[in-house]
Amino acid sequence: MRIDDTDRRILRRLQAAPDLGVNELAELAGVTPATCSRRLDRLERAGILRGLHAQIDWAALGWEVEVSLRFTLDKTDPRAFDDFLEAARAVPEVTEIQTFLGRVDVRLHVIARDMAHYQAIYREKILTLPHIADVEALMQVAVIADDPALPL
Amino acid sequence: MTGLDETDRALLRALVEDGRLSAGALGRRLGLSQPAAWRRIRRLRDAGVLKGSRVELDGPALGFGVTVFLGVKLATKGRASHEDFERAVRAIPEVQLVHHVLGRYDYRLRVVARDLADFERVLRRRIMTLPGAGDIEANVLLSEERRPGPL
């Protein structure tokens, strides 16, 4: 599917304010509401607009600790990635899973209520994951910027 | 806010899956009236638990084929260098995320680029020239999944 400037303008506005209604979005993007709806439908059918997801602020629910855990896996076992990812999905405190090309093989974003809780999760649910060769933690101190928008 | 009940959890799970569900649709799914579902959504919003939505786009289809996670260590320490670094890094459009962290690096960044050549340009011209930037490690994203979390 061809993406033109109008599509990009609509997506740019949508990324900036995902919860706007079609009428407001259309006005900001400088198109009619009908055009805006049609374009959004088309982008969605083409799989380019994949969806809208509510974001939970875990800190507001008392989950104060966020840690980025970076793993190197023992890749002598061909099942290492699959086994590790499957086991990581079963840990409820894992909120993101990424795989990489580089020094790090997998990153898990882990949340905990406090440091004692984190220690328990780390020992009981993380260090017991299969095929870990090395693990390193980056403890989150502050979010300086968080804007998932693509620079369209 | 503490004390989510089972209905709140189900409601959050549904909205994380599809943020466009209306109060009416949510209510039907969870066995609540539309006003009851709306009151719960408003309560979660007011408490800051629901903090707006995220649009999920197909980056590669829109011309952004490469995402890279960076670890950045500052060469010089001190309050001024952190502030300078943070101000400058926030102005780079390709940088989607900046977390101040403790550990091997001082910051972790998420950077999006059109392709590897474009990433190299961003890295050399924008990231490596950031005030105070020292050791940088780059890992190219291959796959990503977001999990609902402990709901």
What architecture is the A58-139 domain classified under in CATH? 2-Layer Sandwich (3.30)
Residue B150 in domain: no
Same domain, B69 and B122: yes
* Closest residue on chain A to B148 (Cα): A95
d(C-alpha B72, C-alpha B128), whole Å: 9
Query: pLDDT tens for residues B101-131?
Result: 999 999 999 999 999 999 999 999 999 999 9
- Asked if A146 lies within 8 A of B97 by C-beta distance, the reply is yes
The CATH number assigned to the domain holding B10 equals 1.10.10.10
CATH number of A5-45: 1.10.10.10
Question: Which residue of A18, A57, A136 is in closest CB contact with B48?
Answer: A57
Same domain, B69 and B118: yes
Q: Which pLDDT score, from 0 to 100, does residue B138 have?
A: 97
Q: How far is B29 from chain A (nearest CA, A)?
A: 17
pTM: 0.92
d(C-alpha A13, C-alpha A11), whole Å: 5
Residue B55 in domain: no
Report the Cα–Cα distance between both ends of chain A, in Å, rounded.
Answer: 16
Q: Which pLDDT score, from 0 to 100, does residue B2 have?
A: 59
- Asked if B98 lies within 8 A of A54 by C-beta distance, the reply is no
- Asked if B94 lies within 8 A of A99 by C-beta distance, the reply is no
- Asked if A104 lies within 8 A of B86 by C-beta distance, the reply is no
Q: Do domains A5-45 and A58-139 have the same CATH topology?
A: no
Mean pLDDT score, A128-152: 95
Question: Which residue of A18, A68, A142 is in closest CB contact with B54?
Answer: A18
Same domain, B87 and B122: yes
Range of the domain at B12: 6-46
Place of tokens 């083409």: A46
The reply to whether ipTM tops 0.95 is no
DSSP-based helix, strand, coil % in chain B, nearest 5: 40, 30, 30
Mean pLDDT score, B22-42: 94
Sorted by where each begins, the domain ranges of chain A are 5-45, 58-139
pLDDT at A2 over 90: no
Query: pLDDT tens for residues B57-98?
Result: 999 999 999 999 999 999 977 777 899 999 999 999 999 999
Q: How far is B114 from chain A (nearest CA, A)?
A: 10
Number of domains into which chain B is organized: 2
Report the Cα–Cα distance between both ends of chain B, in Å, rounded.
Answer: 14
Q: Which pLDDT score, from 0 to 100, does residue B99 have?
A: 97
Spatial CA neighbour of B108 closest among A55, A126, A67? A67
- Asked if B15 lies within 8 A of A89 by C-beta distance, the reply is no
- On chain A, the residues whose CB falls within 8 A of the CB of B100 are 140-144
